[in-house]
Structure 1
């Protein structure tokens, strides 16, 4: 495997991990539409675009594309439509597109976990302490980010709020 793939796959995996976590944060928060929701949503959207765009550099063993690449095209469209919908103040469409984008990401994650030869299952089998550490780092940095955003929004007026 070329070393550039390692960097690309790492970037893809990190962005996907943050997308899973920040997306869950926004979906599970009771308050929607406030400053925290908007900032967390922007972080989530950027990380989702990174996931989608990096996916096209990651090919199958024979150099082709698979069902995950089709999901990337669909996700690019639904994510963009969701952003367009909120820009047009269509909250119902925004909610539908963003929720669909998140559950598509979740489906792709389950699909990746279901293939034992992929990196995450291999980490779980051969390097469980490392995988645990990576998960703790992701969760910790997300928690610190969300807490920081919430504190910022309490003490300052956030542009666009």
Structure 2
């Protein structure tokens, strides 16, 4: 029974992560502030909450709290950093930028987790070495992308202020 429980938790965790990867990628590239953006964004948020909850039910790697649990806490805080401003519409004049930045890094954190999870499973490779290479590799690429395209994304994907207050 114990194994069946863990299999189901792992299955739910994987399915939620795949939904989050797909919806997170879509929401990054969609026009911002639209109804579709909001719907896909809430799908991303819900699936990530399932990922975080199930992550704290998985202890197979060390048998106790581990580095992926710490990453889940950071991921949760990043997700909340993006969702709280959009729900409260505060701080006035800054909430859109906070939402945009935190949600970008939330999705990037998920990419880093995916690459880390994949590379650490390669047999006969150093676990922490692969974890470091994958996490820092994704984060460096994402930082370059964020810095390079931030203004382009904002001008291309952000709606007029009038559109943001219409729904």
**TM-score, L = length of structure 2:** 0.67
- Per-residue CA distance 1:9-35 (angstroms, 9 max, x = gap): 000000000100000001012x11110
1:76 alignment counterpart: 76
Alignment of 1:6-155 (within 5 A): 6-29=7-30, 31-89=31-89, 90-116=95-121
2:146 alignment counterpart: none
- Alignment check: 8 A CA contact 1:79 1:97 kept: yes
- Alignment check: 8 A CA contact 1:60 1:66 kept: no
Give the distance between the partners of 1:69 and 1:62, measured in 2 at CA.
Answer: 11
Give the distance between the partners of 2:42 and 2:75, measured in 1 at CA.
Answer: 16
Post-superposition offset of 1:117: 5.8
Q: Which has the higher contact order (CA 8 A, sep 6+)?
A: 1
Aligned partner of residue 60 in structure 1, secondary structure: coil
Q: Which runs of 4+ in 1 moved over 3 A?
A: none
Give the distance between the partners of 1:71 and 1:45, measured in 2 at CA.
Answer: 16
- Equivalent residues, number: 119
Post-superposition offset of 1:65: 2.2
Give the distance between the partners of 1:97 and 1:71, measured in 2 at CA.
Answer: 15
Post-superposition offset of 1:36: 0.3
Post-superposition offset of 1:115: 2.1
2:150 alignment counterpart: none
